[in-house]
Chain A
Amino acid sequence: MAQRGELILETRKLTKHFGPTVALNAVDFKIYRGQITGLIGENGSGKSTITSIAAGMQPPTSGEMFFKGQPHKPSSMIEGIECGIGMIVQEQGTVPGITVAENIFLGEEKKFGKVLISRRKMQAEAKKVLENIGLTNVDPAAPIESLNMQDRKLVEIAKTVYMKPEMLVVDETTTALSQSGREIIYDIMKRMRDDNKAVVFISHDLEELMEICDTLTVLRDGNFIATLDKEDFDEDLIKKYMVGREMTGDYYRSDFDTPISDEVVLKVDDVTTGEGMLMNFSMELHKGEILGIGGLSHCGMHELGKACFGETPVLRGTVTHVASGEKITNALNAMKHGLGYVSKDRDKEALVLTESIADNIISAGYDKLVKGPFLLPSDTKKYVSKQVKDLSIKCASVKQDVQYLSGGNKQKVVFGKWMGRGCDILILDCPTRGVDIGVKAAMYALINEMRLAGKSIIMISEEMAELIGMCDRLLILKDGQQSGEFFRSRDLNENDIIEVMI
């Protein structure tokens, strides 16, 4: 066993129930100083639950925690950070409607004046905080909404680091970041380790975890499975621990010679979007094709997905459903022609979190379900049950609120919305963002099945391996325009793509 630093956090028989669901089952877990501890497991394994309890986001149902040898029962995240535990959460943690600087110093405004707050001083200090993590291109006076998802996440990281936590939890943060953003967070974690502080790093990217972490703890279905030291890291063994069965080999497509059909189903013609992220862009999607769209952040790929679904204003150009010859101008019109859209930002754009799984799944399928003006409960039940079964959505009941599901299961619910409709053209924006390896494999299999059934898929992704592994054709965007096109090949590798991406 590798030499350990001082024990900083210990959980004993930590248990958490959400209604009838057991999220954590008597977990004993230890975190040491001077280490980056990776936490891995399938969606719903309890990774975020255990760290969020430690950070004060929610109380445990039972069990004990000790932080720096003292009993630890934080009643809020503020108390958590006061104790020395900072957490960067999976979803957006910034407050809209205020500036970057005001976000960083939220609750600390008195530092800049007792009666009148000096915004100039606050912004100057915020600039230093941002520069401390290497974020130099963000204006502290800018409204937080003017930043893209990555920069907002980096502001959140800067804020947490500014609090000087003794233990930092990084929960699924890197999935929202590009490589440059990831480098920033890796650097922060390494600096904290070198300063004899503790880091808990939660990610579904096994390669990333194996590279960055000193130890890895595997959870499965709320149970502690194993802790491995760096010298014992073995990809297949970790996967086996995660899913409870052998998982070796590749989960991408194995075919390389499948011809692309000549039949065009969707045509994007000289499109420039309202926000200016996409400029004079044209492409064609063929029947039965998986068309990959890749690029760096700000390249316009996410706007392309929205434009294809009529969800972003198009200033010039057209998106045409070829079979009908009709222009796609809004979501209703897109759905009428068999299009479906899985948003990158599922919590904000794709799900009603306080609504049940069943109501979320049927939300895109009312027109398919109605008999006359009526929605019959028996039809709804059948429709929902099929999606829950086909997609293996882990839930206690279809009446369970979506907000209590893990990231992977939430994504399955979003898929269920569109699978239920039987879409012929599916636009998937980062479909495997924040989902574990098991769900990823299942989604790839599902996407491939859809391709074989003649459905056409636009797959937008920030993961090159996924694009190379799954797509028949790959378009790379740079500054809102196409900078390269690649066809499926055994020889295609990430270096070829990076050449045209940067």
Chain B
Amino acid sequence: MSEAAVKTKKPSKVNARLIGDLAPYLGLVLVVIVFGFLTNWNLVSGTNLQAMSSNVITTAMCTIGAVFVFGAGYFDMAIGGSLCFAAVLGAMATISSGSLFIGAIAILAVSLVLACIKATLASFVNVPFFIFTIILGSIFSAIVLVIMGNETTLLLKNAAKPIPEFSFGQMSTISIICLVIFFIICVILFQFTPIGPKAKNMGGNVFAAKQSGISKTKTTFTVFIIGAIGIALAAFLLMIRTRTIGNTTGGSLGNDVMVALVLGGMPLSGGPRSKISAGLVGAVTITVLNSGLTMMGLSTGEVQIIRGIVFIIVVLVSSLSYRGKLLPR
């Protein structure tokens, strides 16, 4: 076949796609500037940065893992419930055994079991997945209430053997190391192994993915397991940092993950525009937003309303751009 000529012109305007890629970072800078100004720059004070860094790390762990799940087209609304379930059982295991290691194993095991339940439903039951996750989120929370009985919190200080306590510096080091390692592994899995492309293919067009020989079952289990590892890491770090786990742990995390992904520039419908960086950037932005709103003296309810409005605005603006469909139908 002869080489066909391609008629092109040099772009005279700034590339729209480049703007789209930079938008999440510009959004983060904007949020920092706006809330920095509104809080007399207390937002970026040393104390608040320390507080925010802990929240960023917890949210980012879940959000980075969720990029795989949402990227494959699964709208998981049970992330908060999964984290709470894993954290509670992990805390119970830690307290009864007096071993942080056993607690960590319990958290990971519970998280993986929950991921396998989700993956099984997503793979084999022909019902839109988000419907399951709405129900699963409620079920997980209800089971936690049943397990905890009259208790509202589990305290590690009540463990059978003393559980080591970490200073803020030690805790920050552990958290940052975990986040960096998890982020790098996820970037490699997403960009330099077939896992990421397969997930994006499935999220983009499940029929085409199937006809390209991509196994829906294998890919689904893989993405949920990666997501579960993120949730387990977040639950473990939360447990050793706060040393207190309750039935409201991770309560707003499910929403935070969704808002973070959108703020990070990823469509919740998944597909080719999914990217790991969206998880990290979005987690930072949502944490700054939450912190800024709280520092302005807004009540929890008011914070939720404003977060909802920001979410809708970002979805609207994004849906007007080249990105097209941002939310699953």
What is the CA–CA distance of A75 and B139 in the complex, to the nearest angstrom? 47
**Residue in A349, A370, A389 whose beta carbon sits within 8 Å of that of B208 in the complex:** A349
Residues of B within 8 A of A311 (CB): 210-211
User: Across the two chains, which residue of chain B brings its CB closest to A306?
Assistant: B211
What is the CA–CA distance of A12 and B1 in the complex, to the nearest angstrom? 35
A360-408, CB < 8 A from B: 362-364, 366-367, 369-370, 373-377, 389-392, 394-396
At the interface, yes or no: B209 with Cβ under 8 Å from chain A? yes
Residues of B within 8 A of A331 (CB): 210-213
Contact with A along B1-27 (1 / 0, CB 8 A): 111111111110001110000000000
Contact with B along A327-366 (1 / 0, CB 8 A): 0000110110000010100001111111110010011101
What is the CA–CA distance of A350 and B10 in the complex, to the nearest angstrom? 31
A308-340, CB < 8 A from B: 309, 311, 331-332, 334-335
What is the CA–CA distance of A445 and B2 in the complex, to the nearest angstrom? 12
Known: A352-B271, A375-B193. Is A20-B9 also a contact (CB below 8 A)?
yes
**Residue in B1, B193, B198, B208 whose beta carbon sits within 8 Å of that of A392 in the complex:** B1
B198-214, CB < 8 A from A: 198, 200-201, 204-205, 207-214
What is the CA–CA distance of A19 and B14 in the complex, to the nearest angstrom? 10
At the interface, yes or no: B128 with Cβ under 8 Å from chain A? no
Q: Are B3 and A392 in contact (CB under 8 A)?
A: yes
Contact with A along B289-315 (1 / 0, CB 8 A): 000000000000000000000000000
Residues of A within 8 A of B17 (CB): 19
Q: Are B7 and A351 in contact (CB under 8 A)?
A: no
B209-261, CB < 8 A from A: 209-215
Known: A392-B1, A394-B4, A446-B1. Is A359-B211 also a contact (CB below 8 A)?
no
Interface range on chain A (Cβ under 8 Å from partner):
35 or more
**Residue in A20, A348, A352 whose beta carbon sits within 8 Å of that of B11 in the complex:** A20
Q: Are A350 and B208 in contact (CB under 8 A)?
A: yes
At the interface, yes or no: A462 with Cβ under 8 Å from chain B? no
User: Across the two chains, which residue of chain A brings its CB closest to B214?
Assistant: A363
What is the CA–CA distance of A342 and B54 in the complex, to the nearest angstrom? 50
What is the CA–CA distance of A489 and B198 in the complex, to the nearest angstrom? 45
User: Across the two chains, which residue of chain B brings its CB closest to A97?
Assistant: B329
Q: Are A221 and B5 in contact (CB under 8 A)?
A: yes
**Residue in A349, A362, A376 whose beta carbon sits within 8 Å of that of B197 in the complex:** A362
User: Across the two chains, which residue of chain B brings its CB closest to A403?
Assistant: B324
Residues of B within 8 A of A341 (CB): 211
At the interface, yes or no: A159 with Cβ under 8 Å from chain B? no
Q: How far is the CB of B146 from chain A (nearest CB, A)?
A: 39
Residues of B within 8 A of A222 (CB): 7
**Residue in A17, A352, A373, A445 whose beta carbon sits within 8 Å of that of B201 in the complex:** A352
User: Across the two chains, which residue of chain B brings its CB closest to A334?
Assistant: B213
At the interface, yes or no: B80 with Cβ under 8 Å from chain A? no
Q: Are B209 and A396 in contact (CB under 8 A)?
A: no
User: Across the two chains, which residue of chain B brings its CB closest to A339?
Assistant: B213
A19-49, CB < 8 A from B: 19-22, 25
What is the CA–CA distance of A350 and B209 in the complex, to the nearest angstrom? 8
What is the CA–CA distance of A222 and B9 in the complex, to the nearest angstrom? 13
User: Across the two chains, which residue of chain A brings its CB closest to B206?
Assistant: A352
Known: A222-B7, A352-B201, A354-B271. Is A442-B1 also a contact (CB below 8 A)?
yes
Q: Are A354 and B273 in contact (CB under 8 A)?
A: yes
What is the CA–CA distance of A373 and B324 in the complex, to the nearest angstrom? 32
Known: A354-B324, A355-B271, A355-B272. Is A363-B197 also a contact (CB below 8 A)?
yes
B interface residues, tally (CB under 8 Å): 36
Contact with A along B69-113 (1 / 0, CB 8 A): 000000000000000000000000000000000000000000000
Residues of A within 8 A of B212 (CB): 331, 363-364, 417
**Residue in A332, A374, A390, A392 whose beta carbon sits within 8 Å of that of B192 in the complex:** A374
User: Across the two chains, which residue of chain A brings its CB closest to B16?
Assistant: A19
User: Across the two chains, which residue of chain B brings its CB closest to A25?
Assistant: B7
What is the CA–CA distance of A495 and B173 in the complex, to the nearest angstrom? 80
**Residue in B15, B213, B271 whose beta carbon sits within 8 Å of that of A364 in the complex:** B213
Q: Are B207 and A349 in contact (CB under 8 A)?
A: yes
Q: How far is the CB of B194 from chain A (nearest CB, A)?
A: 4
Q: How far is the CB of A49 from chain B (nearest CB, A)?
A: 13
Q: How far is the CB of B13 from chain A (nearest CB, A)?
A: 10
Q: Are A396 and B214 in contact (CB under 8 A)?
A: no
Q: How far is the CB of B323 from chain A (nearest CB, A)?
A: 9
Q: How far is the CB of A430 from chain B (nearest CB, A)?
A: 15
What is the CA–CA distance of A382 and B178 in the complex, to the nearest angstrom? 35
What is the CA–CA distance of A376 and B211 in the complex, to the nearest angstrom? 23
What is the CA–CA distance of A83 and B237 in the complex, to the nearest angstrom? 62
What is the CA–CA distance of A392 and B9 in the complex, to the nearest angstrom? 19
Q: How far is the CB of A102 from chain B (nearest CB, A)?
A: 17
Q: How far is the CB of B124 from chain A (nearest CB, A)?
A: 15
Residues of B within 8 A of A348 (CB): 205, 207-208
What is the CA–CA distance of A37 and B288 in the complex, to the nearest angstrom? 60
Q: Are A17 and B197 in contact (CB under 8 A)?
A: no
What is the CA–CA distance of A442 and B193 in the complex, to the nearest angstrom? 34
**Residue in A22, A332, A354, A389 whose beta carbon sits within 8 Å of that of B7 in the complex:** A22
Q: Are A366 and B1 in contact (CB under 8 A)?
A: no
A434-455, CB < 8 A from B: 442, 445-446
Q: Are B6 and A395 in contact (CB under 8 A)?
A: yes
Q: How far is the CB of A221 from chain B (nearest CB, A)?
A: 5
What is the CA–CA distance of A132 and B209 in the complex, to the nearest angstrom? 40
Q: Are A350 and B211 in contact (CB under 8 A)?
A: yes
User: Across the two chains, which residue of chain A brings its CB closest to B10?
Assistant: A20
Known: A354-B271, A354-B272, A370-B194. Is A335-B2 also a contact (CB below 8 A)?
no
Q: How far is the CB of A74 from chain B (nearest CB, A)?
A: 19
B175-190, CB < 8 A from A: none
Residues of B within 8 A of A359 (CB): 197, 200-201, 272
Known: A373-B193, A375-B197, A394-B4. Is A352-B208 also a contact (CB below 8 A)?
yes
Contact with B along A155-167 (1 / 0, CB 8 A): 0000000000000
Residues of A within 8 A of B208 (CB): 348-352, 363
Q: Are B204 and A354 in contact (CB under 8 A)?
A: yes
What is the CA–CA distance of A25 and B8 in the complex, to the nearest angstrom? 11
Known: A341-B211, A348-B207, A363-B201. Is A17-B194 also a contact (CB below 8 A)?
no
What is the CA–CA distance of A343 and B211 in the complex, to the nearest angstrom? 9
Residues of A within 8 A of B11 (CB): 19-20
**Residue in B5, B15, B204, B210 whose beta carbon sits within 8 Å of that of A355 in the complex:** B204
22 inter-chain pairs at a CB distance below 8 angstroms, sorted by A residue, are A17-B9, A20-B9, A22-B8, A22-B9, A331-B210, A331-B212, A334-B213, A348-B205, A349-B207, A350-B211, A351-B208, A353-B205, A354-B204, A354-B271, A355-B200, A362-B197, A363-B212, A366-B198, A370-B193, A375-B192, A389-B3, A392-B3
Q: Which 4 A-B pairs have the closest CB atoms?
A: A352-B204, A366-B194, A355-B272, A364-B212
Interface residues of A (CB under 8 A from B): 17, 19-22, 25, 221-222, 309, 311, 331-332, 334-335, 341, 343, 348-356, 359, 362-364, 366-367, 369-370, 373-377, 389-392, 394-396, 417, 442, 445-446
